Structure 1
Amino acid sequence: MKKALDRAALDAAVDHVHRAGQPGIFAEVRAGDQVWRGAAGVADLATGRPADAGLRHRVGSVTKTFTAAAVMRQAEHGRIALDAPVGRYLPELVPGERGEAITVRMLLNHTSGLAEYLPYIYPSLKPFPVLADTRPQSMDDHRFTRFDAVELIRLGVAAPPAGAPGGAPGLYSNTNYLLLGELLARVSGTTAEECITRDVIERAGLPDTVFPTGPEVEGPHARLYEAWFGMIDPPRDYSVFDMSWVGPAASLISTVADLNLFYAQLLAAKIVSASSLEQMRRTGPVLSQEGRIIPYGLGLHPAGEPGQDTFWGHGGTVWGGGTLAMTRADGERHVVVAVNMQRWNTLDASGRPRPHPIDHALASLYRVAMYG
């Protein structure tokens, strides 16, 4: 049954997130032909410029759904076989037995066993519980570093394996999606970013969704404030940052409206075929970067509360920015929420984040947005 949007409740929930400590938040919720857009707080702490639902934003790993969709389109055209070994396409990057054992599908669903390369360039990203002993200096060191994707992939491939190819649970690893970017470039004859733009972004008609061409976010956007678990106080602005450290895994810029349009079309099989979409929604257990086991498909994962409707989409974080984009399985409700501060929690003695009022306020907003 369709539920009308409770605009007053949504306005209050967004305001609650800001009052809980989030500098700025902006969101869009769609239910059938009804649209609510809302924002609270500021886009720029220095000037007091208000947050606005039309702002562009770095959407982090939401990018992975776009990359996965581009791979599925290449597979539909017969240029990629999902169950073929990645070594068939990129033998120089994943050589030998591993290249024969790891398939394209394993890259998409994070069951390749390849390690994450990020801790090798950002020591701050070491896994829990040693997080409490890290410092965020590497963020400043690499603000304008132009990384080469092949070199990053080699770091992940050379690192101790996270598991056997195809094993369960898988490990969420950006190495997988950088490899998919190189695969798209190899089979399309262009860059991964150009391939994704042509086959997914332009196909979906997304006017404000782009890959960055430099460290700036072009167009109206919010500043992005990184607190790094209280170790950066006050939180520092990292909205100017070279995103080559994640490329086709997490560098996309978009808006809340564009993301709702994208997931609406994807879940309606208008970007990939119904058969491809069915495969994208086939999940298995994956160990997330937060240390939780989550169900993960091919660039998509489900979310929702027990006994309630299931939503499909992706979340993403960058330095200072966070995004959650979710569409109900029947395509009748769409939710995107963006915030401009990350890692607001302080850490306990074991190095794990303590609960914060922002966590509770966001959870309340998601419930109102998803279920009314």
Structure 2
Amino acid sequence: MKNPLDSAALNAAIEHVHRAGMPGLFAEVRDGDQVWRGAAGVADVSTGRPVTADMRHRVGSITKTFTAAAVLQQVESGRIGLDTPVGRYLPELVPGERGDAITVRMLLNHTSGLAEYLPYAYPSLKAFPVLAETSPQSLDDHRFTRFDPVDLIGMGVSAPPVGTPGGAPGVYSNTNYLLLVQLLEQATGTTAERCITRNVIERAGLRDTGLPTGTHIDGPHSQLYESWFGMIDPPRDYSVYDMSWVGPSASLTSTVADLNRFYAALLAGKIVRPSSLEEMRRTVPVVSQEGRVIEYGLGLHPMEGPGQGTFWGHGGTVWGGGALAMTRADGRRQMAVAVNMQRWNGLDSAGRPQPHPIDGALAAFYQVAMYG
């Protein structure tokens, strides 16, 4: 079903998100050959510099789709087995019975039962998900910390398990994807950054997408404002940050145009074979970082609209920034949006995030962008 782009409605919807409290955001929506790009608000609250739709942005866990695609390519070549125990490849990182029980597929779809390492790497977040007992102090303490991925994996593997291997629902954990990064490096004999760049980013023809290893975002970009549930007031800029805390599992920088280009190529079977894409779209229930149960495949998750078909993509957050990219299964309708503030919800007396006008405004924008 065709939904032609309504530029006036999209312009009004993106402006409404800014007026609801988002400093700045930008997006690209595509319907076949029609393209709308828009932006609202500022990239720098101190100078008033406006955001523009061509800016580069840290896209967080959207990187996981790129990582998963690179792993599936190695499955296709026979270097990695999708249902092979990870202990066969990385016995020193996932030793013993767990290494025998956790497969590569379980890492990809977050059903490994391995805990999230972040609360252990960032001590002031130790009480997560009890948000009221957390503090943003560690975000500043580790702005320029160069983490060793093996140390981070060790934190997640040695933490109490969050489930049994292959059990449902799974629990979303960055530990899974740091292990996949190590697996990629072992299988290819090169760095994961080089592997993903050569085999995924360049294959998709992306010119403004990369995995920077420094602390800065290359090219025109927005500052990134973190609120940490109202505990940082006013929100603080974390756009300069050492991204080794997530490495090539969530450190990608991209543009909204490149994100749409990537997901169009992926869903058209140009990055992995159709059989691999079918595996990527086989979903299981997974508890998200927000505590909601979502359907999750291999580095992809679906969003359903009323009578409009299934959209596939991923969302991502970093300190201060967020993005969401979704493409309809037929590849025709696409949306990619980037925002420059995170965790804007304050906490109620019970420590739960309170509704914020930004939430409703973003949902309304997604509705117009994806469904017309």
SS in 2 for 1:80: coil
Cα-Cα RMSD: 1.0
Equivalence for 2:116:
116
Q: What letter matches 1:66 in structure 2?
A: F
Tell me the secondary structure at the aligned position of residue 27 of structure 1. strand
C-alpha distance in structure 2 between counterparts of 1:241 and 1:293, whole Å: 30
- Amino acid corresponding to residue 190 of structure 2 in structure 1: T
Local SS of the residue matching 2:29: strand
Quote how far apart the aligned CAs of 1:84 are. Answer: 0.4
Equivalent residue, structure 1, for 2:198: 198
Checking the alignment, whether the CA contact within 8 Å between 1:304 and 1:311 is kept in structure 2 is: yes
**1:103: how far off?**
0.4
* Contact kept in structure 2, 1:85 and 1:101, CA below 8 Å: yes
8 A Cα contact 1:128 1:352, kept in partner: no
Q: Which runs of 5+ in 2 are unaligned?
A: none
Aligned residue number for residue 26 of structure 1: 26
Aligned mates of 2:124, 2:204 — CA distance in 1: 36
The residue number in structure 1 matching 2:10 is: 10
C-alpha distance in structure 1 between counterparts of 2:129 and 2:288, whole Å: 15
Partner of 2:330: 330
* Secondary structure, aligned partner of 1:63: helix
C-alpha distance after superposition, 1:258-303 (max 9, x if no partner) = 0000000001111000000000000000011111110000000001
Cα displacement string for residues 163-183 of structure 1 (whole angstroms, at most 9, x for unaligned residues): 110000001000000000000
Query: In structure 2, what is the equivalent of residue 87 of structure 1?
Result: 87
Equivalent residues of 2:121, 2:155 under 8 A apart: no
Distance 1:165 1:124 in 2: 29
Report the AA paired with residue 311 of structure 2.
F
Q: Structure 1 CA distance, aligned partners of 2:10 and 2:58?
A: 23
1:101 aligned onto 2:101 = yes
Tell me what 1:44 maps to.
44
| Count of matched residue pairs | 372
Residue identity matched to 2:244: S
Cα distance in 1 for residues equivalent to 2:184 and 2:130? 36
Contact 1:129–1:351, Cα closer than 8 Å, also in 2: no
SS in 1 for 2:295: strand
Alignment correspondent of 2:165: 165
What is the rounded CA distance, in whole Å, between the counterparts of 2:38 and 2:130 in structure 1? 38
TM score, norm. by length of structure 1:
0.98
Structure 1 equivalent of residue 304 of structure 2: 304
Residue 175 of structure 1 corresponds to 175
What does residue 265 of structure 1 align with?
A: 265
Q: The residue matched to 1:75 in structure 2 has which SS? A: helix
Q: Tell me whether 121-130 or 184-193 shows the greater mean CA deviation.
A: 121-130
Provide structure 1 residue ranges, at least 5 long, that are not aligned to the other structure: none
Give the structure-2-normalised TM-score: 0.98
- 1:213-224 equivalent positions in 2, closer than 5 A: 213-224=213-224
- Give the secondary structure class of the aligned counterpart of 1:181: helix
Shift of 1:62: 0.2
How far apart, CA to CA, are the structure 2 residues paired with 1:146 and 1:34?
A: 43
Deviation at 1:126, TM superposition (A): 4.5
Post-superposition Cα deviations, 1:53-73, rounded to whole Å, max 9, x if no partner, equal 000000000000000000000
Q: Distance in 2 between matches of 1:196 and 1:102?
A: 23
Tell me, in whole angstroms, the C-alpha distance in 2 between the residues paired with 1:211 and 1:166. Answer: 30
Specify the alignment match of 2:343 in structure 1: 343
Q: Which residue is 2:186 aligned to?
A: 186
Residues of 2 paired with 1:290 and 1:49: CA distance? 32
Look up the equivalent residue of 2:352 and give its one-letter code.
R
Q: Is the 8 A contact 1:225 1:236 kept in 2?
A: yes
Identity of aligned residues (%): 77
Deviation at 1:151, TM superposition (A): 0.6
Amino acid at match of 2:174: N
**In 1, distance between residues paired with 2:245 and 2:359?**
27
Aligned residue type for 1:76: E
Moved over 4 A (4+): 126-129
> Which amino acid in 2 is paired with 1:260?
N
Q: Give the Cα–Cα distance (whole angstroms) in 2 for the partners of residues 80 and 218 of structure 1.
A: 33
- Cα offset, 1:127, TM superposition: 6.0
Contact 1:210 1:252 in 2 (8 A): yes
- Answering whether residue 320 of structure 2 is matched by residue 316 of structure 1, we say no
CA distance change for structure 1 residues 92 and 129 in 2, over 3 Å: closer, same or farther?
A: closer
1:249 is aligned to 249
Aligned counterparts of 1:317 and 1:64: Cα–Cα separation in 2? 12
Distance 1:263 1:122 in 2: 32
Superposed displacement of residue 304, structure 1? 2.5
Deviation at 1:305, TM superposition (A): 3.0
Q: 1:141-172 deviations in whole A, cap 9, x for unaligned?
A: 00000001011001100011111100000010
Question: Counterpart of 1:250 in structure 2: which amino acid?
Answer: A
Give the residue type in structure 2 aligned to 1:251. S
- Range 10-19 or range 343-352, more displaced: 343-352
Match of 2:61 in 1: 61
Whether the 8 Å contact between 2:310 and 2:328 is mirrored in structure 1 is: yes
How much has 1:125 moved relative to structure 2? 3.8
